[in-house]
């Protein structure tokens, strides 16, 4: 499983800060600013950071909806979880790790519904 480094995320992504907000018809899309103020849906990598500057998570967006890999991190910078999203819901395997790197759980999802679950 490949994921972006902190530097790659910051270089190519858009931070969920400032004017970036949830907007759109049902408030479920992420926009550069309020749609009513001329904001556009986010396309590309969206991320947030912890107070210490490390990445909290990043995920890919298309037309303001999460589509593609979503990777979460602990404050230490170690990976916390990984999944693929499609239309805003988990589509496929979701893996979560303890901070020491051991697998905590695995689940398979389709349309956000859990089909199988293994807790370690």
Query: What's the angle, vertex CA 85, arms to CA 61 and CA 73, rounded to 5?
Result: 85
Residue 4: is its pLDDT beyond 90? yes
Cα–Cα distance, 68 to 62 (Å, whole number): 9
DSSP for 68-94 reads EEEEEE-TTS-EEEEEEEETTEE-EEE
CATH number at residue 35: 2.20.110
Residue 42 domain flag: yes
What does pLDDT average to over the chain? 93
pLDDT in tens, 17-33: 999 999 988 888 999 99
Q: Does 1 fall in a domain?
A: no
Judging by DSSP bridges, how do beta strands 79-86 and 103-110 pair with one another? unpaired
Per-residue pLDDT tens over the stretch 78-93:
999 999 999 999 999 9
Note the pLDDT of residue 67: 96
Q: What is the band of 120 on the pLDDT scale with cuts at 50, 70, 90?
A: low
What is the domain range of residue 96? 6-119
Q: Is 114's pLDDT higher than 90?
A: no
Q: Which residue has the higher pLDDT, 1 or 52?
A: 52
Per-residue CA distances from 97 to 1, 23, 68, 112 (Å): 13, 32, 19, 19
Task: Look at residue 1 in the predicted model and tell me its pLDDT.
Answer: 78
Our count of domains for the chain comes to: 1
């Amino acid at each position: 499983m490949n994921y972006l480094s902190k530097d790659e995320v910051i270089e190519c992504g858009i931070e969920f800060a400032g004017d970036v907000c949830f907007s759109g018809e049902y408030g479920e899309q992420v926009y550069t600013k309020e749609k009513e103020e001329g904001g556009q849906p986010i396309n590309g990598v969206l991320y947030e950071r912890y107070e210490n500057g490390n990445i909290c998570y990043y995920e890919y967006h298309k037309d303001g909806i999460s589509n593609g890999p979503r990777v979460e991190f602990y404050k230490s910078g170690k990976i916390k979880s990984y999944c693929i999203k499609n239309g805003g819901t988990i589509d496929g395997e979701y893996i979560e790790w303890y901070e020491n790197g051991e697998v905590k759980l695995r689940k398979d999802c389709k349309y956000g519904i859990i089909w199988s679950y293994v807790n370690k």
